[in-house]
Amino acid sequence: MNVLNLLFTKDGLIYQIVRNKSILEEKSYFVTEETPANLIEEKLDEVLIKQRFDEIQVVSALNHFTLMPEGFSEHDAGFDLIAFNAPTDKEKEELMLSINKKFNIQFYYTFPKNYYKKIKELAIPVHFNFSGEKFLNSINNKNNKEIHINLYHNQCEFFAIDHKKVILYNNLDVNSEVDFLYFIMFTLSKIGFGINETNFYAYGETTENETFISELQKFVKNLKIVFDNIPNKNFILN
């Protein structure tokens, strides 16, 4: 069985081609000042016609989302709720829903309509998910105050959890590792998590964001790197 895994981030596309759980190919593309503005769309087109896939798994880490308790059913309000956090465009974005039964919450998020149509036009089974839901589902949570941080390229998402209850989730698009640190420490002060009583866990591009990790270690006592992305081993895709 050939499976295509796609991960969309703030300025990038990471894909994996998997056959019977063996990763055959993995590549990343990121928009920079030197690349065409439509680089991601071009690369998506190339990936989708690489071969015949039996299934596609899509994960969006794009920062257009809102968090609600599980069971919230006023789906028509999804766009309006997301608009409190980020600008939305109903003409260009598809409204999506991901439910996390482990913590009894659900995410409304939007996904670019042009990407959505290209993927659906292949007429093969496809599953869409939000990175926050998949991240949360991968967390082994204890009865403590915890901050779980998943690092990307120029982006990070994090959960604040207290005794198996999600207190806060955020997904930050920033270009400075120092900004990551500022936002997370600012969050601690606002939600009443003491530095010494809070356990920190890091995942994803921890090596790429080594400045952030080393600076965080100066402030916190309990920090564990749970997962470090290496070739053919991506925290969100695997």
In the three-class reduction of DSSP (H, G, I as helix; E, B as strand; rest coil), residue 199 is classed as strand
Q: Please, what is the Cα angle at 223 between 218 and 225, to 5 degrees?
A: 120
Instruction: Give per-residue pLDDT as tens, 189-228.
Output: 999 999 999 999 999 999 999 999 999 999 898 999 999 9
Q: Given this model, what pLDDT does residue 122 score?
A: 95
Please tell me the predicted confidence (pLDDT) of residue 118: 97
Q: What is the residue type of 49?
A: I
The secondary structure of 103-133, three-state, reads: CCEEEEEEEEHHHHHHHHCCCCCEEEEEHHH
**How far is Cα of residue 3 from the mean position of the Cα atoms in its chain?**
20
pLDDT at 179: 83
pLDDT at site 162? 94
Look at 171 and 86; give whichever has higher pLDDT: 171
List, in sequence order, the alpha helices (H) in the chain: 39-48, 78-83, 113-120, 131-137, 177-191, 210-219
Res. 45: pLDDT tops 80: yes
Q: How far is CA 31 from the centre of its chain?
A: 17
Digit-coded pLDDT (tens) for 155-164: 999 999 998 8
Query: In this predicted structure, what is the pLDDT of residue 63?
Result: 93
Whether the predicted pLDDT of 175 surpasses 80? no
More confident residue, 132 or 238: 132
- The predicted-structure confidence for 176-194, as pLDDT tens digits, reads as follows 888 888 888 899 899 999 9
Asked if residue 51 lies in contact with residue 1, where contact means CB atoms within 8 angstroms, the answer is: no
Q: To the nearest 10°, the Cα dihedral for 70, 71, 73, 74?
A: -60
- pLDDT mean across residues, the chain: 94
CB–CB of 26/231 below 8 Å? yes
Stated as kind and residue range, the H or E segment containing 162 is strand 155-162
